[in-house]
Amino acid sequence: MVPTPQFPSEATANTPKLPLSPQGADVILGKILEPEILAIPIAPSPTTMFGPRGACLLPNGQLWVSDTGHHRLLGWRNLPTRDSQPADWIIGQPDFHHEGQNAKCKLGRTTLSVPTGICACGEGLAVADAWNHRVLIWKTLPEDSNVPADLVLGQANFTENEPNRGSRVDANTMHWPYGVFYHQGRLFVADTGNRRALIWHELPIENGQPADLVLGQPDMISRNENGGGSPTAASMRWCHDIAFWGENLVITDAGNHRVMIWQGMPIENNATCALVLGQKSFETVEMNQGDYFPSASSLSMPYGVGVANDWLVVADTANSRLLGWRKPESIISLQGALADAIAGQNYFQSKGENRNFGLPKRDSFNWCYGINISDNIAVIADSGNNRILLWRFN
């Protein structure tokens, strides 16, 4: 029998909320679900999505979404202003009404298989094409459907897609890369299946270019879970998303139910992080710190992370909520710290999808995978609800 959480009345009345618009999302992209279709796969169209896991709002106002379950990218020329607004562009399928891995045809520059992380990359766009074990890069932003990618990482060319190039792991291979991030000239990839993060000190210019730095493993040819031993301040189990909080590198380690934070930019392989959120120590890695219900300091499969000014916002995916921490004077003081605010749930001890396992609301989540905050707009990939939320961050 599932235990029932006990909420002290004073605590429930004063649970601090993230500074998001109190009316909920300003715009919801995707089909507005009804009870009878909650569990039915959604057919592809210009207005529907199936399990989107990533999205980003670009400096020029374009919005791009990884419509993961439909194996495609959806693009809006300008920031959408109304619910269920149809996409303007598509990459990965011949039109808006087809789906299938690699469009059920020959692998190439415009095909995708389980696209996830997506970000602005220099003057262009980068996408983690997870099940093709590669990252695709467009040197300039696509402004039409099925614009071919200019560069591929993780594979030698655009026609191969074996994990780790069909051989052993190395600095130029990938296995299920789920996250991609670009910051101050550096490219970061969460090479999830290899339990590591890869870093290029400059934007790559050649197909299959090897990474310069690795985190989570002792070298470029290792891929063991937690480095082959017990969890440490350097090891990873299922890294997924990447951000910078001021000058500090942040990586979500979903498999260890924690967020890892480095002071500054690591400069050597396997550098240890300075602190973790979600766990009391570097060695403990239990879901919700071993309790059935979450708390203000615990996490369960945190996949996404975003930054808005002083706020670090974590998509605590399996708890169907966002948690936020405000940046202190000393980042080290945050080790295992309580979150300052929450969204998606009424209380820190709640974790049900859409709060009460009902229909999605404008301020609820069902396994939120990704969050990108740009120009004070939180773009949230609410994967279990098959939708993207555009929600003002005040």
Q: What is the DSSP string of 168-214?
A: ---TT--SSEEEEEEETTEEEEEEGGGTEEEEESS---STTPPPSEE
The string of pLDDT tens digits covering residues 2-22 is 555 555 443 455 899 999 999
Query: Per CATH, is 18-33+42-392 categorized as 3.40.30.10?
Result: no
Which CA distances in Å does 188 have to 45, 122, 161, 240, 265? 32, 13, 20, 11, 12
Burial class (CB in 10 A: 0-12, 13-18, 19+), 6: exposed
With CA atoms as reference, report the closest residue to 300 among 351, 264, 343.
351
3-state helix, strand, coil in the chain (%, to 5): 15, 30, 55
Average pLDDT over residues 55-75: 97
* pLDDT band with cut points at 50, 70 and 90 for residue 38: low
- Name residue, tokens 């529907």: 48
Which pLDDT band, with edges at 50, 70 and 90, does 72 fall under? very high
SS3 string of 294-333?
CCCCCCCCEEEEEEECCEEEEEEHHHCEEEEEECCCCHHH
Task: Give the C-alpha separation, 58 to 301, whole Å.
Answer: 27
Provide the pLDDT for residue 48: 96
Share of the chain above pLDDT 70, in %: 94
Q: Average pLDDT, whole number, for the chain? A: 94
Rounded Cα distance between 267 and 198, Å, is 12
Q: Dihedral sign for Cα 285, 334, 232, 115, please.
A: positive
Query: Could you please report the per-residue DSSP string of 62-129?
Result: -EEEEEGGGTEEEEESS---STTPPPSEEESSSSTT--SGGGGS---TT--SSEEEEEEETTEEEEEE
Specify the pLDDT at position 356. 83
Whether 363 and 344 have beta carbons less than 8 Å apart is answered as yes
Query: Which of 63, 35, 20, 70 has the alpha carbon at shortest distance from 49?
Result: 70
Residue 34 clears pLDDT 80, i.e. is over it: no
Least confident of 36-40, 113-117, 222-226, 262-266: 36-40
CA pair distance 79, 319, nearest whole angstrom: 29
Residue 112's pLDDT is 98
Q: Mean pLDDT throughout 66-86?
A: 98
Q: Judge whether 369 and 65 are in contact, CB under 8 Å.
A: no
Position 10 scores a pLDDT of: 39
Contact 161, 153 (CB under 8 A): no
Per-residue pLDDT of 83-111, as tens digits, reads 999 999 999 999 999 999 999 999 999 99
Q: What pLDDT is recorded for position 394?
A: 87
Six token digits for residue 324: 């936020």
